[in-house]
Each structure stands twice: as C-alpha cells, then as structure tokens.
C-alpha cells in the first residue's frame, strides 16, 4: 500500500528581485573597495621606489664631489694645490656656488683610456633649471645626453665655509602625481691637509 504524505509545497523557493539587487550592490561595493585599496598600495609602492631611487641619485652627487676632491688632492704634488684646483673647478664662473646650482656632465666617465676620468667630468651651471636625468639602459647609467626620461632632476651646490672647508648639497626632485617629491643630502668637505 502506498501512503501519500501530506506535505505543504513551499511557495517561496527563490530570491526576490530586491534581495538580488542588494546582494549585487554589496558585492560591487566590496570589489570597488578592494580595487581602491590595491590601487593605493601600488601607488604607495611606486612612490617609495622613486624616493629610494632619488636617495641613491642624491648620494651619487655627494660621491662625485668627494671623489673629485680626493682625486684632485691625491694626484697633486702638493695637496693644498689639489684642494685649490678642486674648489676652482666648482666655483669657476660661479657654477656651483649657491643658487642656481650646477650639475655634472658625466657622459665621459667610462672613458677608461683617460687619466683620472673623474676629473674629466664637466661642471655646468643650472641657469634657471637643471636638466632632467635620463636613464641609459645599455650602460645602466643615469646621464643627460641619451636615454629614457626619468623625471628626476639633480641640483648640486656648494658653499665655501672657510679656506679649507665647503658645504656641498645634492638635491633631487621628481614628479609624484600632481606634486613634486624632493630629497636633499648635504655634507661638509674639508681639505684634510695636515
């Protein structure tokens, strides 16, 4: 004998249109929030990368000054003469003294056939604005003559503190969204003549 169970059929078997729309809205809101947070994270990582790169470029400017001083003094018969030659190279025609600052044209730095290549670097005044650094991928090197745009601008300057000491400043600025980022390193160099 077959028994039939008396069961009630549930007439509410699906979602209403309002429930579907609310679910889609909540899902869309969570996706938009996730994409926004992801975008901010990517932008923050890019800004941090640029700041680190700018710090290296600013430090490189300080190292140019220091290397020029050391080479000039070590390879002179009289270190005091070397110091004077170094200072005159920087101050020649007011190139690096205070504003507007100067930059190093270092495209011939890798010319190993020359004697003391660091002394062959030309010092040029910034005349209003320093030029943008370019990145040459073939040399993995930043320079001004060829390469792709970087957005970084390095301005060097020096201030004479006395006959045996100068303060050097290396400032790097870059585009950071609609504003500009900036990092500045400075150091005092002396003639280390005993």
In sequence order, what DSSP letters do the residues of 84-119 get, joined into one string? HHHHHHHHGGGSSBSTT-EEEE-TTTT-TTSSSGGG
Q: Determine the length of the chain.
A: 194
Sign of the dihedral through C-alpha 136, 65, 92, 73: negative
* Alpha carbon distance 168, 189 (integer Å): 7
User: Over its length of 194 residues, how does the chain's per-residue pLDDT go in tens digits?
Assistant: 555 555 555 556 667 888 888 989 999 999 999 988 888 888 888 888 999 999 999 999 999 899 888 888 888 888 888 898 888 888 776 688 877 888 888 776 666 566 666 777 888 888 878 899 999 888 888 888 888 999 999 999 998 899 889 999 999 999 887 888 999 999 999 987 65
Strand 132-136 relative to strand 148-162: parallel, antiparallel, unpaired?
antiparallel
Radius of gyration of the chain (CA): 31
What pTM does this model have?
Answer: 0.76
Virtual torsion, Cα 35, 40, 43, 48, nearest 10 deg = -140
């Amino acid at each position: 004998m077959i028994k039939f169970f008396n069961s009630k059929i549930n007439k509410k078997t699906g979602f209403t249109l309002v429930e579907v729309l609310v679910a889609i809205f909540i899902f869309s809101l969570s996706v938009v929030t996730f994409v926004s947070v992801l975008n901010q994270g990517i932008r923050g990582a890019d800004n941090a990368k640029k700041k680190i790169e700018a710090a290296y470029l600013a430090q490189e400017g300080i190292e140019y000054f220091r290397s020029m001083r050391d080479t000039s003094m070590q390879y002179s018969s009289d270190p005091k003469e070397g110091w004077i030659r170094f200072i005159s190279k920087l101050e020649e025609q007011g190139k690096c003294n205070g504003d507007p600052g100067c930059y190093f044209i270092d495209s011939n730095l890798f010319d190993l056939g020359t004697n003391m290549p660091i002394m062959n670097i030309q010092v040029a005044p910034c005349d209003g604005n320093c030029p943008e650094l370019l990145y040459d991928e073939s040399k993995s090197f930043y320079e001004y003559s060829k390469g792709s745009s970087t957005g970084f601008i390095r301005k060097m300057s020096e201030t004479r503190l006395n006959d045996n000491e100068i303060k050097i400043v290396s400032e790097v600025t870059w585009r950071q969204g609609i504003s500009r980022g900036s990092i500045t390193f400075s150091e005092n160099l002396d003639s280390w003549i005993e």
